[in-house]
Chains A and B, each alone.
Chain A
Amino acid sequence: MSIIWAIFVKDLRVEWRNREAVASMCVFGLLVVFLFNFAFETGREETLRMLPGLLWIAFAFAGILGFNRSFAAERDNSCLEGMTLAPIDPSAIFVGKLLANLLFLGGAEVVVVFAASLWYNFSFVPALGWFALIVLLGTLGYAALGTIFGAVAANTRMREVMLPVLQFPVAFWVLILSIDATSDALRGMGRKANTAGAARVAGLSLIFAVVSFLLFEYVLEE
């Protein structure tokens, strides 16, 4: 646990010093929500239909920026390789970086949701519990994929382009399920529908997280 914590704290410290990841994620997420607000005149029903997809698009693109930055710091002086010199389980590196990515993306999501509630004049409060749970579960799966694909892309030449090319085809499924479940939550569907939606997102995210955890060791191989 101390290894995971050390990697997590190191990532927070690096981010606090350069403020590159979270700032760019927030700005990008806000721009997506802002531009859509001007592109479409929305009433309550249109907002309900559009908002889940819009939010997850903003989360997805903001996440890509964050995952790229997360591994840029590791790439600069071959720090990821430096970590592998230590007698630690490579999956500890994965978990430490996943926790940091979750925190950064979670922070950006709070800012985006707050802005969306203002610009679309939409209250998330009635569905906040289910909405927060689904966003958390979907973000877990998405960030797990971003952490492993970020490590893969870090070793390629066109890494900024490579990450979305690798990530989106796989993350598509967790995004689709998350949009669907978010839509149900915001529409105030019953407990049964929300539980089923959250369970589907949780199941897929758990699969992605476990598979990424198990495969990370091989990604670190030269």
Chain B
Amino acid sequence: MLPDQVRAEWTLEAREVSKFFGDLVALRRVSMRVTPGDSVLLYGPNGAGKTTLLRTLAALARPNEGEVLFAGESLARNRSASKAHVGFVSHATFLYGELTARENLRFFGTLFGLGGLERKTDRALDLFSLRGRDREPVRTLSRGLQQRVTLARAFLHEPDFLLLDEPFTGLDASATTNLEDVLRRLPEEGRAVVFSTHSFEQGAAIAQRLVALENGQVRYDGPLSLAPLESLGINAVSGKHSLIKE
């Protein structure tokens, strides 16, 4: 992690970003700025562009228009600029099934050039209660345990920005509670988290800011407490989004 005075100047920003897949417009002129200490719920119906936006912020996808900046520097010019500071959880686990959880973390820790790798690996395993299962090949673990290893991988290098796409997928009740606690603590540590979930209630209990996406466009970006939920089509009581097409 960065020292406080340095960290305060680091921002991750999407500026007028558009992303197309053939004729499909996944993102249309999306702007969003994330600063240390932010806790952002990315919410919207299926196909709204949440995953594409997170992948673009993580430098895994290149925008067709606009740019993503880290600390003021465009990732188009230097794609590696943000990587050491960003942890990303995707729908894919990014884990090698033949390797154990510990071996996977050691491998990715080496790629990130981490010092004190064993200590950091232990810490990441402990954070998601994986001790005792860390020497089993990942392919033999349940989906929920694999998701915990995926989260441990994203947290391993203690990133300042965590971009989590549906991080609660497959988790049981106790792991879900644990992850909620971890995510609530991040802003206090001066780190930023941007996450998506289909449970508005669950997300709203963690985040302070809402970014509502629909058809690849930002419909609302601001404090959760001030969000016009009705006009966004979100039922705050049931937590259901009227536009979510299951």
Taking Cβ atoms with an 8 Å cutoff, the residues of A that contact B are: 2-3, 6, 10, 13-14, 17-18, 73, 76-79, 81-88, 221-222
Residue of A at shortest CB range from B21? Answer: A222
Residue of B at shortest CB range from A18? Answer: B98
Structural contact, A17 and B95, CB atoms closer than 8 A: no
Q: Is B242 an interface residue (CB 8 A)?
A: no
Q: Does more than half of chain A's interface fall in helix, strand or loop, or is it mixed?
A: helix
Contact A77 to B111, CB < 8 A, known contacts A13-B103, A87-B83, A222-B61? no
Q: 25 interchain pairs (CB within 8 A)?
A: A2-B110, A3-B110, A3-B113, A6-B107, A10-B96, A10-B107, A13-B103, A14-B96, A14-B98, A14-B99, A17-B98, A77-B94, A77-B95, A77-B97, A78-B90, A79-B95, A82-B94, A82-B95, A83-B111, A85-B86, A87-B83, A87-B112, A87-B113, A88-B111, A222-B61
Task: Report the minimal beta-carbon distance from B78 to chain A, rounded to whole angstroms.
Answer: 10
Structural contact, B107 and A78, CB atoms closer than 8 A: no
Residues of chain A within 8 A of B96, CB atoms compared: 10, 14, 73, 76-77, 79
Contact A85 to B60, CB < 8 A, known contacts A6-B111, A77-B92, A78-B90? yes
- Bound-state CA distance A76–B60 (Å) is 17
Residues of chain A within 8 A of B90, CB atoms compared: 78, 81
Residues of chain B within 8 A of A88, CB atoms compared: 80, 111
- Bound-state CA distance A141–B130 (Å) is 43
Task: Report the minimal beta-carbon distance from A177 to chain B, rounded to whole angstroms.
Answer: 36
Q: In the complex, which of the residues B61, B62, B93 has the most CB atoms of chain A within 10 Å of its own CB atom?
A: B93
Structural contact, A13 and B98, CB atoms closer than 8 A: yes
Q: Given A17, A73, A85, which contacts B94 in the complex, CB threshold below 8 Å? A: A85
Q: Does more than half of chain B's interface fall in helix, strand or loop, or is it mixed?
A: loop
Structural contact, A81 and B99, CB atoms closer than 8 A: no
Residue of B at shortest CB range from A221? Answer: B62
Instruction: Report the contact-size class of chain B (Cβ under 8 Å from the partner).
Output: 20 to 34
Residues of chain B within 8 A of A73, CB atoms compared: 96-98
Task: Report the minimal beta-carbon distance from A70 to chain B, rounded to whole angstroms.
Answer: 13
Structural contact, B110 and A78, CB atoms closer than 8 A: no
Contact A13 to B99, CB < 8 A, known contacts A85-B94, A86-B112, A87-B80? yes
- Bound-state CA distance A127–B108 (Å) is 44
In the A-B complex, list the 7 residue pairs whose CB atoms are closest, starting with the nearest. Answer: A82-B94, A78-B92, A86-B111, A87-B83, A17-B98, A6-B110, A77-B93
- Bound-state CA distance A221–B55 (Å) is 13
Structural contact, B62 and A76, CB atoms closer than 8 A: no
Residue of B at shortest CB range from A74? Answer: B96
Residues of chain B within 8 A of A78, CB atoms compared: 90, 92-94
Structural contact, B94 and A79, CB atoms closer than 8 A: yes
Q: Given B88, B107, B110, which contacts A85 in the complex, CB threshold below 8 Å? A: B88
Task: Report the minimal beta-carbon distance from B171 to chain A, rounded to whole angstroms.
Answer: 17
Q: Is B84 an interface residue (CB 8 A)?
A: yes
Structural contact, A10 and B99, CB atoms closer than 8 A: yes
Given contacts A10-B96, A13-B103, list 20 more A-B pairs with CB under 8 A: A2-B110, A3-B113, A14-B98, A14-B99, A17-B99, A18-B98, A73-B98, A77-B92, A77-B93, A77-B94, A78-B90, A78-B92, A78-B94, A81-B60, A82-B94, A82-B153, A85-B83, A85-B86, A86-B108, A87-B80
Structural contact, A17 and B137, CB atoms closer than 8 A: yes
Task: Report the minimal beta-carbon distance from B164 to chain A, rounded to whole angstroms.
Answer: 13
Residues of chain B within 8 A of A10, CB atoms compared: 96, 99, 107
**B residues 95-120 with Cβ under 8 Å of A?**
95-99, 103, 107-108, 110-113
